[in-house]
Structure 1
Amino acid sequence: MTESLWSGAELDLDAYLRRIGYDGSLRPTFDTLRALHRGHLAAIPFENLEIVLGRSVPLDVPTIQAKLVGQSRGGYCFEHNLLFAAVLERLGYSVTGLASRVRMGSDQRRATTHMLLRVDIAGEDWLADVGFGGDGPLEPIPLRTGVELRHGGWTFDLLEEAPGVFLLRSHRPDGWFDLHAFTLEPRYPVDYGLFNYYTSTHPQSPFTPRVIVQRNGPDVRRTLVGQELRTERPEGTVQRRDVPADELPTVLAKVFGIELDAQDARSIRDRHR
């Protein structure tokens, strides 16, 4: 029996498929991967509310599934992509974990803190990443350079900017925008545990001081960072408005599909103030 690296056997696959609204083929093909990738992003938001509430972020599959599948909640990159890796492993895909340095337009060298997946389908490698948030790709990206890809209204490409170092970019009205850079060094759950501890606890992490919630679709991206709610469309139009603390639980529910119980709603309002 093949060793389970991503704990796919611990997954309630039927519950996951219901959560993302998928009832198609489960054969480990590219078409299935693409449909699962899009369905996951459409159904499960990106959010850091557990961190803002002062809680730990466990990365075992049963805990991730209880939150992202069993509740109307989301998570951040490690939760999303570890859950997705378990799904893909369960379906028979060959999955390798990778890690990247997030740039988001900056040329500053940052720590390796983002998780993504490499999926081998019949000898062709694809990048799957359902956990990058609002600026990430909607579909798997072929692991080859020099190809521009359209996902809904958004455009992406992949460069090899140095030997063995790949850069994923998105195109914006003012030009190409660097998202993150990665190598093909395999990473394992124990690595993500270390990255997760830093990202969820360090005072200089972008996720510890403020609410960050994102939802990415083919024609619109919605992002809440701190008190600013931003709505962006592919042609470059951006709408911004402030979200006062008392309105936050309603915005989380109506805009992002995140339902909090009464105690968490009070706590997140207090932190948001």
Structure 2
Amino acid sequence: MSDLNVLFRKRIGFPEEELTFEKLDELLVRTAEKIPFENLCIMENRTRGLSNEIVMDKILLQNEGGLCYELNYILYLFLQENGFDTSLVRGVVFNQMKQEWSKTGKTHVANLVQHNGKFFLVDTGFGGNLPLKPVPLSGETVSSATGDFRVEPVKNEHGDYLVHIKLNHKDQDWKIGYVFDSMDHVKSVEELEEIQTIIKEHPESAFNKRPLITKLTSKGNMTLTTDSFTEWEDGQEKKKGMDEKTFKEYKRMYFGL
């Protein structure tokens, strides 16, 4: 096995065995539970250029998390190492508060995996909205511990497939997650660097305003900001206020950061 293959499996606690398509569910759950979605590098102004080595160092050696362009990129490299036919695609997130497409443009990155002649969305970089399973591009609903998900073809200026989400204990109705372009593949790591720059500098970016850390747990999920720590367990929400000292303690205690 390559270093990346060994280190990724070690980070998420996945056994050294053949990775089949049927085992992607388990892989995605373990990834979501072990690698947090977080923007600390951006908030602390310590981003680096992106490369295989830099992303491996950050996530697999320094045991940090990252945003979609890092989390789905390291997953992309791992899937390729294990013989999967996968590509990175770009999409535009729907802003639920403003009910409009994000003005940061195509800054969401996800994996598109081809298996037995069919395509599936595989996303481990969408915060607390993770499907935890490959989602077919056929409109079929996929259900997991986090909720229901489906991907449908659409005619949209930003892409040709729409991701719908209905989170358990949170959403009564379907909501739009993002739209992606199945033909707009990321062709080089320089594209990911451009996305990182937009996320870091754009005035409408959701990730350059305050620290955000979230990850899945066996009973729900937990989210930490400088204002609060929110924990969902079996559909019940518990929330606690934060100060600077407690934020640092919780960051280390619950997320290993």
* Alignment TM-score > 0.5, same fold: yes
Q: In 2, Cα distance between the equivalents of 1:79 and 1:60?
A: 10
* TM, length-normalised to structure 1: 0.82
Whichever residue aligns with residue 127 of structure 2, its letter is: G
- Match of residue 175 from structure 1: 173
Higher strand share: 2
Deviations 1:49-71 (A, max 9, x none): 11111122432111111111112
| Equivalent residue in structure 1 for 2:23, among 32, 37, 41 | 32
Would you say how many aligned residue pairs link Structure 1 and Structure 2?
247
Task: Map Cα deviations across residues 61-101 of structure 1 (whole Å, 9 max, x no partner).
Answer: 11111111112311111111111111111111111111111
The one of 84, 90, 93 aligned to 2:84: 93
Matches within 5 A, 1:177-256: 177-185=175-183, 186-189=185-188, 190-217=190-217, 219-232=219-232, 235=235, 237-256=236-255
Give the root-mean-square deviation of aligned CA atoms. 2.2
Question: Deviation of residue 104 (structure 1)?
Answer: 4.5
The alpha-carbon distance between structure 1 residues 45 and 120, as it changes in their structure 2 partners (threshold 3 A), is: same
Q: CA deviation at 1:234?
A: 6.7
Q: 1:218 to 1:138 in 2, by over 3 A?
A: farther
SS of the residue 1:207 aligns to: coil
Q: Percent identity?
A: 22
Question: TM-score by structure 2 length?
Answer: 0.87
Specify the code of the residue in structure 2 equivalent to 1:21: G
Q: Point out the more displaced range, 197-206 or 91-100.
A: 197-206
Q: What is the CA–CA distance in structure 2 between the aligned matches of 1:254 and 1:72, rounded to whole Å?
A: 14
What are the ranges of 5 or more consecutive residues in structure 1 without an aligned counterpart?
1-7, 259-273
- Deviates most, 71-80 or 223-232: 223-232
| 1:83 aligned to which of 63, 74, 96 | 74
Corresponding residue number in structure 2 for 1:131:
125
Q: Which amino acid aligns with 1:93?
A: F
Residue 233 of structure 1 and its aligned partner are, at CA, apart by 5.2
Structure 2: how far apart are the matches of 1:89 and 1:70?
A: 20
- 1:40 aligned counterpart, secondary structure: helix
Quote the residue 2:108 is aligned against: 114
Give structure 1 regions of 4+ aligned residues with deviation exceeding 6 angstroms: none
Asked whether the equivalents of residues 147 and 165 of structure 2 are also in contact (C-alpha less than 8 Å), the reply is: yes
Distance 1:193 1:243 in 2: 32
Distance 1:160 1:233, change over 3 A: farther
Q: Which amino acid aligns with 1:123?
A: G
One-letter amino acid of the counterpart of residue 90, structure 2: A
SS in structure 1 of the partner of residue 66 of structure 2:
coil
Cα shift readout 1:24-64 (whole Å, capped 9, x = no counterpart) = 5324x312333322221121111111111112243211111
Give the Cα–Cα distance (whole angstroms) in 2 for the partners of residues 158 and 80 of structure 1. Answer: 20
1:193 positional shift: 2.0
